[in-house]
A and B are shown apart, each in its own frame.
Chain A
């Protein structure tokens, strides 16, 4: 412990906060704790290394989650195809007919795949992989801090995430399979081990993994908030913070307020599973047998506790993407962000409203229609700050001197997807329309577009843009653009048609539609979707090849500030050490978007003092 304290003191002394020792440490002396491989790459406390750990672990899970979707899409697109070739990978989950030798996907495993795809992508990839990566990378670099408020907590945050991942990974190999009751884990299916194979040990491990995941999110989030609020460099007022930082701040606040609530639900679920309580159970029949001792509970209660996290969670996913996109669009359009303060207040508005809309996931749960009305109202109001943000992104790009590269293209793609997916949200937010559309592919299309693929686009945009900050090299631009155009087209090809399927009433989560004659007309559409999904999957493999190739062989970064950014991460040396700046931390004198605002200068960085009589652009 003593050693750790010394490091932390060294890192923080310039910030003040210990109440002593200011000013004696204006030069960074290197990091004593990166002396060995283990300290440097495994149990690192450097926020930049932890960011890379989050990113690469997130990529690992993204491949697994996406591969699962490809397998269940094969079932949906080609239900009669022979899948015996998947047997080496999936073993017993492929039922092989001894007579014909034809392999089909086990229905139980189909549900497990759908469940795990959702859990993995929502929590491990788009929460930890997105916010974990970029909050860690950018918060200290952009606010001017040597590291996080507590590097130790930061490291623990990653390792709790890792532990959660290991537990979830083990659950994939259980004899009874991983949990298969949907990523929302509604009781009674999740509360009764005898309810299905996936509800046995798979669900126990699912709960355990998610509790560790919550611990990781809280450790990370508390750190992000205290770093942003307490460790900004001199002159970095709240309204001089880049929009990325505002987004990360609100993301962490949402996580801090909502994850504990779902955890309380998880604990009640565990007690129902293991200790015989009936918090969520009442009048249950399993295989025709009444569970007479499990009475008095309320399954809807779990839904409230779950969606009290669940809805803020979608903003936990999309806000960091929004922050990254705001920054990337401004820098590559060579224009200040349009309506900086409107953007900040939209983020705050979304943050507050996100806690008042959760029951719009529960319109068909028997909710009182008058209560539904209130949730409809707030759901529609949240479209206002979202629309303000969209308008401002378009206005930022409008008339800009746009550089079309992988980073900026993915940002534009984000805006496109966010509009396409957001518009269908207005339909679903209305209780009356939702009664019809609920649990159909319309919902699947909506949320995949607005917060699934869109958040991935924000993440890709951030990776292409800040790759030099992370690795001192660039990613391959040609491969990046192939990745962009391919992913954009296939994403729309996958989720566009699903809107029609949903409107026609095709329910989500079904293994097979062969008993529904009316849906036969969509067979070809399902095949197109599956083929598009497979192409999309291989395009992401291309991205991963590009990513790892570029780490070692990419074009080297030679300029400190290659994109002409104005924020502080472009003042650190190429491949910065632990502590970020070799000399003193720069002071901030202006807002972060002084791009193309001066006759004689293309851009002015945040650490440049204001000229005599000049007014800060953000005010």
Chain B
């Protein structure tokens, strides 16, 4: 009996698992960016400026993270209306990010910098596309949460609901920070 009553308060296993997953994703993108550095050190590497859309998309994803951050505060106050409003703002900005990344690829294509133009463009498409795929994973989680939200399941905070929100937002903030890292990386490498 005593075993069961005296439990040590630890991080929730699911949250911990998410952090472990994030560690794996960091290794995944570290491998890409290391390969980029190694390849760039050899000859035949064309530099080109990043499309402007990538900067707009940065603003979009930063905005979405901020909106989610504030929406969680509203959720904890049990302010369902503000929570929902900010949540859907973040949600839309998340979609805007994906759209703007796509627009960025289009404008690169338009000036002849396509996937196979040079190693530098291959890497840019590869890394940004891999990132967008990870963002899409976040969008799936956002949609699942949004369905519950519309049905009014998150109006009053409970530990289980908070966990769901935490897991989703933590991942979203991660893909946001990941994009910032990648953007700074590309800028430094130019």
Question: Are A and B associated in one complex?
Answer: yes
Which chain A residues have a beta carbon within 8 Å of chain B's beta carbons? 12, 14-20, 22-23, 25-26, 149-150, 153, 218, 221-223, 225-227, 229-231, 233-234, 256-261, 263-265, 267-268, 271, 275-279, 293, 295-298, 301, 304-305, 308, 584-587
B39 proximity list for chain A (CB < 8 A): 279, 297-298, 301
A153 proximity list for chain B (CB < 8 A): 17
A218 adjacent to B13 (CB under 8 Å)? no
A230 proximity list for chain B (CB < 8 A): 10-11, 13, 16
Contact of A279 among B9, B13, B119 (CB under 8 A): B119
A293 adjacent to B116 (CB under 8 Å)? yes
Considering residues B1, B3, B118, which has the most beta carbons from chain A within 10 angstroms of its beta carbon? Answer: B3
A226 adjacent to B119 (CB under 8 Å)? no
**CB of B163, distance to nearest CB on chain A (Å):** 8
Contact of B119 among A19, A223, A278, A587 (CB under 8 A): A278
Which chain B residues have a beta carbon within 8 Å of chain A's beta carbons? 1-14, 16-17, 20-21, 23-25, 27-32, 35, 38-39, 42, 44-45, 115-116, 118-119, 122-123, 126, 130, 159-160
A586 proximity list for chain B (CB < 8 A): 3
Bound CA–CA A301/B37 (angstroms):
11
A222 adjacent to B20 (CB under 8 Å)? yes
Chain B residue, CB-CB nearest to A235 = B3
B9 proximity list for chain A (CB < 8 A): 16, 19
Chain B interface helix/strand/loop/mixed: helix
B16 proximity list for chain A (CB < 8 A): 149, 225-226, 229-230
A271 adjacent to B122 (CB under 8 Å)? yes
A18 proximity list for chain B (CB < 8 A): 12, 159-160
A264 adjacent to B44 (CB under 8 Å)? no
B32 adjacent to A264 (CB under 8 Å)? yes
Q: Lowest 6 A-B CB distances belong to which pairs?
A: A16-B7, A149-B13, A260-B28, A264-B31, A261-B31, A260-B27
A264 adjacent to B35 (CB under 8 Å)? yes
A25 proximity list for chain B (CB < 8 A): 4
Bound CA–CA A122/B126 (angstroms):
29
Bound CA–CA A23/B1 (angstroms):
8
Chain B residue, CB-CB nearest to A9 = B160
Bound CA–CA A153/B16 (angstroms):
13
Chain A residue, CB-CB nearest to B118 = A296
B130 proximity list for chain A (CB < 8 A): 264, 267
A150 proximity list for chain B (CB < 8 A): 13-14, 17
A12 proximity list for chain B (CB < 8 A): 13
A305 proximity list for chain B (CB < 8 A): 31, 35
**CB of B40, distance to nearest CB on chain A (Å):** 11
Bound CA–CA A276/B28 (angstroms):
22
**CB of A320, distance to nearest CB on chain B (Å):** 19
B35 adjacent to A258 (CB under 8 Å)? no
CB-defined A-B contacts under 8 Å, sample of 29:
A12-B13, A19-B9, A19-B159, A23-B4, A26-B4, A226-B17, A226-B20, A230-B10, A230-B11, A230-B13, A257-B27, A258-B27, A260-B31, A261-B27, A261-B30, A261-B31, A263-B31, A264-B28, A264-B31, A268-B35, A271-B122, A277-B122, A279-B39, A295-B44, A296-B45, A297-B119, A298-B38, A584-B1, A584-B3
If A264-B130, A275-B115, A585-B3 are given as contacts, then 9 extra A-B residue pairs at C-beta distance below 8 Å, sorted by A number, are A18-B160, A22-B5, A22-B7, A23-B7, A149-B13, A222-B20, A223-B17, A260-B27, A264-B32
